[in-house]
Every structure is written in C-alpha cells, then in structure tokens.
Structure 1
Amino acid sequence: MKPLFNPGPSLNARVILAILMALGLLVADHRQHHLELLRTALSLLTYPLQLAADRPSQLFREARERLASQDRLRDENSELHRENLLLKARLQQFEALEAENARLRELLGSSLDVGERVLIAEIMAVELAPYRQQVLLNKGTNAGVFVGQPVLDANAVMGQVIRVNPFSSVVLLITDSDHALPVEVNRNGLRTIAAGTGPNHDLELLYIPKNADIQVGDLLVTSGMDGRFPPGYPVARVKTVRQDPDNPFTTVLAEPTARLDRSREVLLVWNLNETSRLQALTAEALKPKNMAP
C-alpha cells in the first residue's frame, strides 16, 4: 500500500535549503536592494505591534518623569521660598539701615546748625510708667556726659540728663510732669515757663496773662534764662489758647516739636561758651603759683 502522505525531504535537507535561501536573499538585498520595498511593507505592518509593545514602557517612563518633575518642582519651590524669605529679611535690614542713615544725616545736619559741641547717642530703653517720661541712653560719664546736660533730636529739645553711669545715662523728657523749661515766643520774645503734663505729652505754659500776645502756631524756643539750655533751640508749637473766667491766667498748651516717641538717636550738647569758661578756669587753677620770698 502507498502511504497517504509523502514524507518529503529530510529535516536536515530542509535546514540547509532554508540557510541557502537566506544567504541568497542577503546577497541579493546587499547587491541589488531588491528587498527594500518588502522591508518597508513589513515594517508598516509590524509598526502597530511595535507601538503596542512599547506603550507600557513609554507610560512607565512618562509617569516616572512626571513624578521626578513634581519632586524637582517641589524642591525648587521650597528653595525659592527660602530664598524669598531670606531676601525679604535682608530687605528689611536694608530699609532699617536706610532709615537709620537718614536719621543720622538729620542729626549731623542738626549738629552743624546748632554750632555746639555734640555727641550722638542711641536710646536703649524707654520708661513705660504712665507718669514717667524718661529714656535710657548708651552714653555715660566715660563719654563726658554730665547731669543737667541738654538732649536734642534732629528737630528740637527732648530733655536733659538726670542720672549718669559710666556707660549709660537717664534723660528726663520735657513732657515729664517734673520737668520745667524757660522758653520764649519766637515771634515776639514773650518769656514763660513750659511745664510737662505727663501722660498728655503736651507742655503747659505757666502764668500767661490774659492780655499776652500769644497765638496758636507760635514757635517756642529756649530762652537760656536757666543757664542750662543754650538759647534759641526749638521746643514746641502752641496748639491751644483758652480763656477761662475762673482762671486769672490764660490756659496755653503746646505740642513738642521733637519726635519724643519716634527718635532713636539723640544729640548730647555742650555749650561752647560754658565749656570754654570751664577750661579757662581749669587752666588757671593748674598754673603754678609764684612762691613768696
């Protein structure tokens, strides 16, 4: 009986035949490029399969890059936030330095206008008691500060030194209820006493007759009658003039010209005339006296 299926050539013969055909195709493609169209057609057919096979890895890469970008952006945002805070802090320091330089320029300009020997001091503390108007300065006897020394800011008289230590001093402000200062109206030379009112932060002019020539807005300056404050320093401006039937004197209130609640640097003033007199007396006292024969 004949077999239903012809076994055909052997497996080895088939392998050899396939190798020969592959070599033939390689040689033909290398020399004649006859398979270029076939390769292009096959690549078009297999591209969807390649795309589908590469899609999971592509999605994984995109997710990883997105997470990395978010982490990087988060880190950059935190770094920028820290830098922003640092720059804002430095900007505040620059603004404070700029304001301090402006105050110092005002003080130096004021010292040139005053024409006296002056020393710049800084306010270290403020007395917070309601009936005490005092400040603490960072200059003391080591800098030549003495009790009774006048203290000014860039605008006007602030007060006088009442206590001194080697490295600090206490200043009684002109608004303190225990402070009184001889002043005169700059417009007409009317002399009076400006007394502090304590918590009201005003000055009251004492013993003003009812027929006195004084008006709202008049500038009060030191008269120099006390021998402590040199004459001509601004003190305050009149803000209230009131006639009371029960009071034999005119009630006059004045607002200090100095920035008592805002100044940080102040001027300690020496009267040049007084300083020269004291130096002359000291020099005279140190001269050797002629011995009697």
Structure 2
Amino acid sequence: MILCVILASFLMFADQRMSWMEDVRAQISTVVAPVQWIVSLPARGLSLASLALSDQTRLVNENRRLRERLLTLSQRVQRMASLSEDNVRLRELLKATPRQEIPWITAGLLTLDNDPFLQQMIIDRGQQSGVYSGQPVVDSAGLVGQIISVSRYSSRVLLITDASHSVPVQINRNGLRFIARGAGQPGRLTLDNVPNNTDIREGDLLVTSGLTGRFPEGYPVARVSRIMRNAGTPFASVEVRPIAQLDRSRNFLLLFTHDRLKPKSHQLSQEAVDAALQVVRPGRQEARQ
C-alpha cells in the first residue's frame, strides 16, 4: 500500500509538472481504447435487445412523431434556399462578413466517466480522424462540450456541465453576453456576474457568442431556468439548463473550426444546422407567436 501511495504521488507530481506526461496519457489511451470498445459491447447488446422487445404501440407512436418532424423539416428545408439568398443579400447591403461553412464528422459514445465529480465522456474518434484538443462537440439539440485529450482511436470530451468548463454565450433575444459555467452537476449551468438590472428572463435562449474563436457563433447552449435577484448584492443568481441531451445522446458531431485541420468532406452550412436544431424543439417559437 505504501508503494502504491508513493507511486500515485509521483504520478500526480509528474502530471502537474512534466509536459511529457500528456504523450504518455495519449499512448495509454490508445492501448486502452480496444478494452473500452469491448466493455461497451454489453450495453450496445442490451440496447438492441430492448429495441427488439419494445412495445409495438410505442413504436407506432414514435414513428408517427418522427414522420411529423420529418414533415416539419421538409417544409423548412423548402424555404432554406430562399432564406439563404435573402441572408446573402442583406449581408451584402450591410457589408457584413458572410458565415463560413463548418466541416464536421460524426462520432459515437464509447463510455461515460464513472467519477461523480467529473462530467466527461469518451467517444470513438481520435487522431486518425483529425480530431484535435479544444474541438467543439454538439448533438442534435445543442452544444455538448469540447475535446480535452486525444489518442489514436478515441478522445475524451469535457461536458459543458463540468465545474471546470466555461463557454461565452449571449441571449438570443437581445444579444447580451455572459459566461456560462458548469455547476458540476448533470443538467445545470450558472451565469457569472449578471447584474440585478439585466434584461434577462426565464426561458431565454442562450447561444454561443463566438468571441473566443473556439466555439462557432449561434449554436444553442442552454435556457434560463431560474433567476434570483438579491437586493443586498449587485449580482443576480441565474441558473440555466443545457439544451443538449447530455444524459441520452449517443451520436455527436465534431466541428472543425481550425482552417488547417478542416477535412475535405462533410461540409454543412450554418443555416442548415440552425434549421435542424430548431426541429428538435417543434412548436416553441410558433407557440410564442
């Protein structure tokens, strides 16, 4: 036990002080990747078995809902060409820089971190696919997090709910900018330094502001769930809930925001991404109108 304590202390010291430990960690992750894939097989098998034994009525209802969503998406896609041209003309009139297309690749979930104090997961894409540290990760609803370490065949993702993660955001309604910080708990974020007199409301949509250059502008991050204005302090306490399905998503998109690392395929326009993200929240905007 004493030997293990000494070895653990040395490894912690080396991890903090020596840069070569990052390479060692990447090599170890490469070796462990096949084990992680094998460990994930029972969960995949159970998922397939559960799907095969699902109630037929539930499947019919789910199929109906998917058809309705597909119909909604088709209707919006039909308007995409016209809206895109209108957007280009308006930007030309305003002399604004056009939005760049963002390349992407798909990735699947391998495993979640079992540490209750960490909000991290491992996906099945690595250096072989061009993945890099700091790369944004999204699902079908919104921002999931960013890559923090990469091995040859897998990568570790830091979720936006982790206590060490922060992302610059802005209120979609009025453009006010803040920093959304993870609370270290699933399904919860907080906003830093929000003055009591700020025009912020429950239900406001927060999107990435794009200020740091790491996360592209306009991707949904969270919705304001609770505001507590304290008369005795200059700042309000604001809680927000992530829009991404962090507890159930198994498929993700890795966005290539660095020019030198962009792949030659999988090009997708920002307008198409925005339209697709709106489909997972059908009826919200229509209800407001």
Match of 1:91 in 2: 52
Q: 1:129 & 1:251 partners in 2: Cα distance?
A: 27
Aligned Cα RMSD in Å? 3.1
Q: 1:213 to 1:167 in 2, by over 3 A?
A: same
Any idea what the Cα deviations from partners look like across 1:135-161, whole Å, max 9, x if unmatched? 000000000000000000000000000
Match of 1:32 in 2: none
Matched, 1:165 2:151: yes
Q: 2:250 & 2:159 partners in 1: Cα distance?
A: 14
Match of 1:236 among 214, 217, 222: 222
Question: Which SS does the other structure have where 1:205 is aligned?
Answer: strand
Opposite residue 111 of structure 2, the aligned amino acid is A
Q: 1:255 to 1:94 in 2, by over 3 A?
A: same
Q: 2:199 & 2:226 partners in 1: Cα distance?
A: 13
Any idea what the Cα deviations from partners look like across 1:27-61, whole Å, max 9, x if unmatched? xxxxxxxxxxxxxxxxxxxxxxxxxxxxxxxxxxx
**Deviation beyond 3 Å, 4+ runs, structure 1:** 92-95, 112-115, 276-279
Any idea what the Cα deviations from partners look like across 1:152-184, whole Å, max 9, x if unmatched? 000000000000000000000000000000000
List runs of 5+ in structure 1 lacking aligned partners. Answer: 1-87, 280-293
Shift of 1:199: 2.1
Q: 2:254 & 2:161 partners in 1: Cα distance?
A: 18
Match of 2:247 among 261, 278, 281: 261
Q: 1:89 to 1:191 in 2, by over 3 A?
A: closer
Contact 2:130-2:261 at 8 Å conserved across structures: no
Q: 1:261 & 1:90 partners in 2: Cα distance?
A: 18
Q: Which one has a bigger Cα radius of gyration?
A: 1
- How many residues matched? 181
Shift of 1:204: 0.3
Matched, 1:155 2:141: yes
Match of 2:197 in 1: 211
Q: 1:122 & 1:94 partners in 2: Cα distance?
A: 26
Question: Which SS does the other structure have where 1:142 is aligned?
Answer: helix
Q: 1:167 & 1:129 partners in 2: Cα distance?
A: 22
Scaled by the length of structure 1, what TM-score is found?
A: 0.56
Matched, 1:196 2:182: yes
Q: 2:106 & 2:135 partners in 1: Cα distance?
A: 13
Match of 1:275 in 2: 259
Opposite residue 176 of structure 2, the aligned amino acid is L
Residues 1-293 of structure 1 aligned to structure 2 (within 5 Å): 91-92=52-53, 115-199=101-185, 201-271=187-257, 274-275=258-259
Shift of 1:226: 1.0
Opposite residue 259 of structure 2, the aligned amino acid is T
Opposite residue 250 of structure 1, the aligned amino acid is A
Shift of 1:244: 1.9
Q: 2:136 & 2:176 partners in 1: Cα distance?
A: 22
Any idea what the Cα deviations from partners look like across 1:3-31, whole Å, max 9, x if unmatched? xxxxxxxxxxxxxxxxxxxxxxxxxxxxx
Shift of 1:116: 1.7
Contact 2:256-2:262 at 8 Å conserved across structures: no
Q: 1:175 & 1:155 partners in 2: Cα distance?
A: 15
Scaled by the length of structure 2, what TM-score is found?
A: 0.57
Q: 1:239 & 1:260 partners in 2: Cα distance?
A: 17
Q: 2:136 & 2:116 partners in 1: Cα distance?
A: 23
Match of 2:271 in 1: none
Opposite residue 125 of structure 2, the aligned amino acid is K
Shift of 1:92: 3.9
Q: 1:93 to 1:120 in 2, by over 3 A?
A: farther
Contact 2:103-2:262 at 8 Å conserved across structures: no
Shift of 1:277: 9.6
Opposite residue 146 of structure 2, the aligned amino acid is Q
Contact 2:161-2:184 at 8 Å conserved across structures: yes
Q: 1:167 & 1:277 partners in 2: Cα distance?
A: 17
